[in-house]
Structure 1
C-alpha cells in the first residue's frame, strides 16, 4: 500500500516519492562537493560589494514578490527568499570585504548571487536527509528529519499581530532590570519596535506612493507653467520634506537605518548588532557558511556598518528577541538569574490562565495545587474544571535548545523531554490517581494535610472527561503536536490518554478564535485529543488540527474513511490553515476593517449556533455533553437536526401532543408557548423509557422553549439517572413500546424496509436484526 498527500479535495499518489528518495541518495555525494564550490562563489560576490546594497536588493526582491503574488506562501521561491536575506546577512557578519567595495551591485551579478544562495539552500535540504555519522545511504529517523527541516526552512513562531503583545507581557515584569541593562524602558522599547516594523513592512510602499504623488504634481506644474525649465520645476518641490524623506528611503538606506526610524539606546543597538567579519564561528567547521548551522543573525539581528545600525528583516528579529534579551540581561546581571526564572514562570502561568479564561470564563481555575502521591508531595500548575471536564495543565517557561538539531540532536531531544515529556507525565499522575481513587485532595501548600490547608477536593464522580495539557513558552509545535511519532522514537509519553502539547503562541490563537465559545472549544479539544493517539494522521503544525476540525469536524474519522476508500496507510494534509493564516495576517494594524475577513469557524445553521449560545449562556450541568452530541453531526447532519426540530414544532402545532426527539444519546423536547400543555411525569417517562431502550443509566434532557412564532428564547438541561433492571423495564413497558413503534414507523415512512444490519431506529445502538426486528416478523 502507498502513502498519499491530501491537499483539500485532491489526493495525489506519492509513489514518485520513492524515486525522489533514490535520487536524493545519488545526489548526496555530489551535493557535498558542489556545495563547497557554491559557497566559494557566494563569498567571492559578497566580498566585492557593500553589504547595504546586497541586503537592500534582497529586500526589494521580497517586496516585488509581495506586489506580484497575492498569496506569497503559495510560491516556494518566496519562502526561500525569506530565508536567503538573513542567511546573506550572516555571511556578511563572517567575511572580510575587499578594499573599496562597490556601492551598487549589477543586476546580473545579483541574480547570480540569488541563484547561488537558493542552490545552497536546496543542497542543504538534501544533506539534512542523511545521517552525518553513517554511510550516505542511511537516512535518519522521521523525528530527526522533521526537526532538521523545521530548523532550516521554517521562520515565524507566531502571527505578527501577536508579536508585540507577547513581548509586552513577558518583559514588563522585568522593566527595572531592563532599564538598567538597556537604558530605556520596556514601554519605550515596544513603541520603537513598532517603528521598525512599520518602516520595513509599510515604509517601502508608502515612500513609493509619495514619489508617485510628487510625479503627478510635477506633471501638473509643467502643464500649468510651460515657460519653466526642468530645473525650475524641480525647485518647486525641493523643500517638500515628505518627498525628500521618500527619496532617502527608496534611493538610500533610511528604511533600514535604526537611528532614523527609532530612538533605541546606543547600548541596546550595540548588544544586538554585529559588524562586518566580526563573527568567527559561522565560517568554520564541517558546515562552514551553511544555513544548517545556527546563523549569527538569530542572536545579532542588527548590522553595524560604518558607525550606523541597520535592520533589513523583521522575522529574524522577532523569532528570537525575547530569548536574546534574556541572554543579554543575564550576561550583564548574572545574580538576576533566579529572579528572572521566578518571574518568567509566574508570568507564563498568568498568561496561560488569562488566555484560557477568555475561552472558558465560567470555569473553575485552581493554580499551584499540591497533592500527595505515594506519600510524596507533587505540584500541579493549573487545574481547570468545567461541567464534568477537567483540563490538567502543566506550564513550562524553560528555554528550548537553540542549537541546530543537525549538530546537537542529543540536546534537542533533551529539550523535548524537559518541555513536553516530563510535564505530560506529571499531569498524567492526577488522571491515574483519579481512576484509582474516589477523590483527590488538593492543598494550598506542601506543608501539611490540615483542613485549613485544603484548597479543593476533586471527586471522581464529578468528572467525565480528562485532558492532559502541556503549555510551553518556546514554540516547537512541529514536534509537540505529533505524539505517535514521539512514542515511536522512544519518548515516555502516556498511552491511550488524551494529550495536548502546545505553546503559548497557539493558545493565544485558540483564545482568539474560541473567545467565549466554551462548549465549541471543548468539542474541538475532544477531537484534538482523539488525534493525539492516532498514527493515521501526520500533521506539521498544531493549527493544522484546528483547520481540519473546521473543515471535517471529526477529522480522524474522515481520515480513516478516506484511507479505507483509497486503500492507503497514511495521509498528510497540506494548506488547510490558509483561512486561519489569512485571518490573522489581516489582523495587523496595516489593514482596514473592511479588508479583514470573518473569523474562521465551523459551518453550521444559524439556528444551531443560536441554540448552542443559549446553552452556553446558562452553563448548566450536562451542557458540554448536550452540545457535543449536537456538534458530532457534520455537514448535512446539522441541517437535518434543525429540520427535525422544525418538523417537531409543526407536528406539535397540529396535534397539540408533545413529541420526544432523540438526539444520539440525549432526549430533547420543544416546548411551545400557548400550544403545548404537558404533564412533567409524561415527559419523565419518555426520558426513562429511552434510557432503558439504550441501556443508558445516565441521560441528559434538553428542553427548548419557543415563543408563539416558534423562535427559541430559553433552554433547560436536566440530568436523569435510572437503574437498568427488568423491574424498571416492566414499569415503563408501555412507554417503551410506544417509543419503539413511533421510531420504526417514522423510519418506515421514509424507507419501505429497514435493513437488517442498519442501526435500530429505537435508539438502542444495536443492529436492527439483533433488536426490534423480531417484533415485526
Structure 2
C-alpha cells in the first residue's frame, strides 16, 4: 500500500488523533486474543494466511503483498509474549477472525501514516516504514546455500555449546521452511480428515504438532529454548501503545514461542531474516568468552563470500584480497600504508570491494535514531570512504601498486594497476539492510564524488550469479547503475528493482530523466520492477521441492517462468552471446560497447546480420566475393564519447581471415574508416545455416599504420581509397 492510499483511507493528519486510533485498534486486538487459546489463535491465523494466498496467484508467486498480512503472525506472537499470560480457552469464530484482520489493517494503515508525518528526517521515516511493513529478504531457493555458507564455519562452536552441527542446524531450518512455505499444511488437514471450513478446537490443537519445532527439526531442546520466548515473558517490553508499532519486535532474535512446555514456529520470514544473528547471539549468551572467536570467523566469512559470487559472474577476472597500497593520509598528507578488502580487475574495469561483517542496528530507527545512523555509518559511509581513498590515489597518479602484507612491517609487491577506464565501489554487508541499501548513495552517508557506489547485502549479491551469466551484461549493468546512482529521480525500494529496470530499459537512468523532462515534475514514483525476478525465483524453489518428474504445480497453474533478461532481437543477442562465449577480454569489451548502443542502433545491427547473412549465403558458390560490413560511431558530429569506432564484418565461418592474423590485419587496415584513431573490428563467422558460430575482435589503431614502410603505406593507401570510393555501409 502506498502512502497516498493510506492517506485516502485516513482523512486526518493530526498526530494526536493518529495515536488515539492506534491505541483504540490495539485495545480491540488485545481484547480479541485475550479470550482465545493462544496456540489455537496462531494456528487459525496461519490457516487464514495460507488459504488467502492459496487462491491468490500473485501472492502465491511473490509472497505476502499486504503489510498487515505480511506481519500478521509476527505481530500476534509479539503481543502474546509481551502481554499477561493468556488463559483463554475459546476458539475464535470466522467473524471474529475477520474482525481481527480488519482491525489489524486499520492499525497498520494508521501507523504508516503516523511514520510519514512524524517530525523525523526522511531517511529515518523511510527506514522505519520499510522495517515496519516488509520482511522476507532472502529467496527461499537460496536458503540451503546461504545458511550452509554462513553457519558452516561455526560447526565446532555449535557442537561444543549446544551439541549440534551446522549441517543439522541447516537441515532443521530447511524442514521448518518447507513446513511453513509449501502445501504441507493442506496435506496435514487432509491426513487428519479435517474440513478447512469447519474445524473444532480439538482438531486445531491436534494440528499444533505440525508447528512443533522439536518434532520438525530434531534439534536439542536446550538450543530451541534459547531461541524462544514464553507467553508474558516480556510483558514490560512496550512502554506505550505507540511502541508496539514503532519498536523492534521482541521475537526478532527469539523466533519461537513456548506454550504448555512445547515450542512452536509460525513466522517463517522473521525466522529466516534474523536466523544468522539469532544463532550468534544464542552462542554468546551461553558462552561469552567466545566473542572474539566469533568475530574472527565472521571477518573471514564476510571477506571471502562476495569474491566467490563475483568469480562466478566474472570467471576470468583477477581478484586480489586483503591488499595494501600507499596513499596520503591525515592533515600533513604523508604517504601511509592503507588497507583494502579487495579489488576485482576485468579488462579495463576495476571494482573496489569493501566488506563489513558488522550488524545493522538491532533496534528500529524510531527507537534509537542515533544507533541506527551509526550502524549505517559503519556499514556504508566508512567502507565508501575507504574505497574513495583508493580511487583518488589511482586517479592522482594514473596507476596503483598493490601489496600483500608479509609481516608487521614488510610488504610484498603483487602488481601495478593501470589503464583502467571504469571504476566502481562495491560495499558489501553480511546483514541485509534492504530498507535503505537501494537508496544509500543518495543519503548523507555517501559524499558526492566521481566514484559510483553500489551498496549491497550478501543476500542480494547472491541473486546476481543466478541472473547474470554474461560478463558483458553484468559490466554494462554496473555502468548503467552508476548513472542511476547520480540520478535524483531514481529512488527505488529494493536493490533488485535496479536489475528489473535495467532489464526493462537498459539505460534506465536516461529513460527516467526523459520522463521527468517531458512531464516537468519534481519527483517520479517508480513502481516495483522485480516482479519477473520474484516469479522466476519462486518457480525455482517450487521446482526444487517437487520430485523432478513432470511439470511443477506453478508451471501447470500459470505456465513456465522464463529467466528474466534484457530483451534483445535474436541476431543481436546471438552476437553478444558469441562475444561473451569467447572468454576473451577484447571480445567482451566489444560486447560491452555494443550494449551501450540505443535501441535504434541495436535494431540496425540485428537487421544487418539478418539480411546480410541471407545475402552472404546466396554468394557461397559464386566467384564474386562479398564481405558485408557496417560502421558505428564514426561520424564526428554524432560521436558518442564513451564509444570508439565499431565495425562489424560478416564472413563465412570457413574464411581464412579467422586463422591468418597477418592477412586479417591487412584486410582490416584496408577497410577501417579512419587511420588516426582506434577502430574495434568485430569479425563474425556464419555457417551454412546462417548461424553465427565464430567471432574475433581486432583493434586497428594509428600505430599500426605508422609502423608500415613508406612503400607499403602508399600501396595500402591506394587500396583504401578504392575501397572507400566503392563501399556502402550502414551508418549510426
Q: TM-score range by the shorter chain?
A: 0.7 to 0.9
Provide closer, same or farther for how the CA distance between residues 319 and 77 of structure 1 changes in structure 2, counting only shifts above 3 A: closer
Q: Deviation of residue 29 (structure 1)?
A: 2.2
Pair 1:631–1:716, CA change in 2 (3 A): same
Unpaired stretches in structure 1, ≥5 consecutive residues: 6-13, 132-138, 216-246, 748-760, 764-777
Match for residue 193 of structure 1? 173
Matched residue SS, 1:575 = coil
Matched, 1:614 2:583: no
Larger radius of gyration: 1
* Structure 1 range deviating more: 709-718 or 675-684: 675-684
Output the CA distance in 1 between the equivalents of 2:326 and 2:583.
32
Quote the residue 1:547 is aligned against: 500
Change in 2 beyond 3 A, CA 1:259/1:334: closer
Q: Which residue of 2 aligns with 1:436?
A: 396
For the 8 Å contact 2:498–2:529, the answer to whether it is kept is no
* TM-score, normalising length: structure 2: 0.86
> Kindly tell me: are residues 688 and 480 of structure 1, through their superposed partners in 2, closer, same or farther at Cα, counting changes over 3 Å?
same
| CA drift at 1:259 | 3.0
1:40-70 superposed Cα distances (whole Å, 9 cap, x missing partner): 2222222222111211111111011122211
Asked if the contact 2:429–2:458 (Cα under 8 Å) also holds between the matched residues in 1, the reply is yes
Once superposed, what is the RMSD of the aligned Cα atoms?
3.4
Residues 322-337 of structure 1 mapped to structure 2, 5 A cutoff: 322-337=276-291
Instruction: Report the alpha carbon displacement of residue 726 of structure 1 after superposing the two structures with TM.
Output: 13
Cross-structure match for 1:690:
674
Question: Helix, strand or coil for the counterpart of 2:246?
Answer: coil
Cα separation, 1, equivalents of 2:30 and 2:43: 18
Offset of 1:478 from its aligned partner?
3.3
Equivalent-residue separation in structure 2 for 1:546 and 1:673 (angstroms): 35
Residue 179 of structure 1, CA deviation: 1.6
> Conserved in 1, the CA contact under 8 Å of 2:23 and 2:241?
no
d(CA) in 2 for partners of 1:89, 1:438: 58
The residue that corresponds to 1:304 in the other structure is 258
Q: 2:139 aligns with which of 130, 145, 159?
A: 159
Matching residue of 1:284: 239
How far did residue 708 of structure 1 move? 4.4
Tell me: CA distance 1:435–1:348, structure 2 relative to 1, closer, same or farther (3 Å). Answer: same
Cα distance in 1 for partners of 2:387, 2:723 equals: 45
What are the residue-to-residue correspondences of 1:183-582 with 2, within 5 Å? 183-201=163-181, 202-210=183-191, 251-285=206-240, 287-288=242-243, 290-374=244-328, 375-445=335-405, 447=407, 453-458=412-417, 460-461=418-419, 463-483=420-440, 485-486=442-443, 490-515=444-469, 517-582=470-535
User: Tell me, what secondary structure is at the counterpart of 1:309?
Assistant: strand
Change (3 A) 1:681 1:746: closer
Q: Sort the Cα spacing of 1:443 and 1:114 in 2 relative to 1 into closer, same or farther, 3 A.
A: same
Aligned position for 2:566: 602
Does the 8 Å CA contact 1:258/1:311 hold for their aligned counterparts?
yes
For residues 147-195 of structure 1, give each alpha carbon's deviation from its aligned partner in whole angstroms, at most 9, with x where no partner exists. Answer: 0111100111211121232222111111111122222111112112222
**Separation (CA, whole Å) in 2 of partners of 1:708 and 1:533:** 47
User: What SS does structure 2 have at the residue aligned with 1:297?
Assistant: coil
Provide the residue aligned with 1:57 in structure 2.
Answer: 44
Higher relative contact order (CA 8 A, sep 6+): 1
Query: Cα offset for 1:104?
Result: 1.4
Q: What does residue 228 of structure 1 align with? A: none
Q: TM-score, normalised by structure 1?
A: 0.81
User: Matched residue of 2:359: which SS?
Assistant: coil
Alpha carbons 1:443, 1:449 under 8 Å: kept: no
Which is worse superposed, 108-117 or 718-727?
Answer: 718-727
Count the aligned residue pairs. 685
Q: 1:349 to 1:297 in 2, by over 3 A?
A: same
**Which residue of 535, 538, 550 maps to 1:585?**
538
**1:283-327 Cα distance to aligned partner (Å, 9 max, x none):** 324734x22111111121111111111111211111111111111
1:687 Cα offset (Å): 5.4
- C-alpha separation in 2, matches of 1:632 and 1:310: 53
> Counterparts in 2 of 1:159-178, with a 5 A limit?
159-178=139-158
Deviations 1:397-451 (A, max 9, x none): 110101010121111111111111111121122221221113211111075897x
Conserved? CA contact 1:208–1:250, under 8 Å: no
* Cα deviation, residue 676, structure 1: 8.6
Query: 1:312 and 1:622, CA in 2 relative to 1: closer, same or farther beyond 3 A?
Result: same
Structure 2 SS opposite 1:453: strand
Q: Determine the C-alpha separation between the residues in 2 that align with 1:741 and 1:24.
A: 74
Equivalent position of 1:663 in the other structure:
632
Cα shift at 1:379: 1.3
- Secondary structure class of the residue paired with 2:209: coil
* Aligned with 2:32 (options 45, 51, 76): 45
